[in-house]
Amino acid sequence: MDVIKWLIYFSTSESQYVNNCFIGAFLLILQLIMEQNRENKIVFYDGDCGFCNYIVGFILENEKNEMLRFAPLQSGFAQTLLAEKEIKINYSTFYYLKDNRIYSKSKGFFELLKELRFPYRVLRIFRFLPLFLTDAVYDFVAKRRRRLQNPKCYFPTPSQRKRFLS
């Protein structure tokens, strides 16, 4: 019996036990898919930049759900993964990996905003501006990021620390 026929048989079965097993299996598969996607959303940032670390803390405090992972560009993990994607690392650029695709600069910023709560994701409205313009704003801030350092250090909670890759 092929998988489609099996699924149809069990989804239309009159037995409550069979239906409960079917629903349980479906939820388990859904959970596995969500776990796989969890691994696939990674923010790469300059770990030596105070402003960048502040932004990571801001993201941790304002994300919709805990689906993001973080890796400093200086880490072996980031160096290896970005090299596999044929990305030459620029430490003044932030990279965002989502669904096996790398976004950088303003494109990465606009993709990442999808993961934040309201009102921050409203900023995505600016993604309709020309890329040369949004990247110019990104570059303007990136050049001055060392001067924008926040004197406070963000200390992630133990559960948040598990989401940092090195």
Q: Per-residue pLDDT tens for 49-72?
A: 888 888 999 999 999 988 899 999
Residue that has been written with the tokens 């699924």 in this structure: 7
Count CB neighbours of 153 within 10 A.
Answer: 9
> For 30-39, how does the pLDDT look when each residue is reduced to its tens digit (9 = 90+)?
455 445 444 5
Tell me which amino acid residue 39 is.
Answer: E
The angle formed by the CA atoms of residues 106, 111 and 116, to the nearest 5 degrees, is 115
> For 130-154, how does the pLDDT look when each residue is reduced to its tens digit (9 = 90+)?
999 999 999 999 998 888 776 566 7
Count CB neighbours of 30 within 10 A.
Answer: 10
Residues 6+ apart with CB under 8 A from 75: 47, 165, 166
3-state secondary structure of 1: coil
In this structure, are residues 149 and 54 in contact, taking their beta carbons and an 8 Å threshold? yes
pLDDT value for 28: 58
pTM to 2 decimal places = 0.72
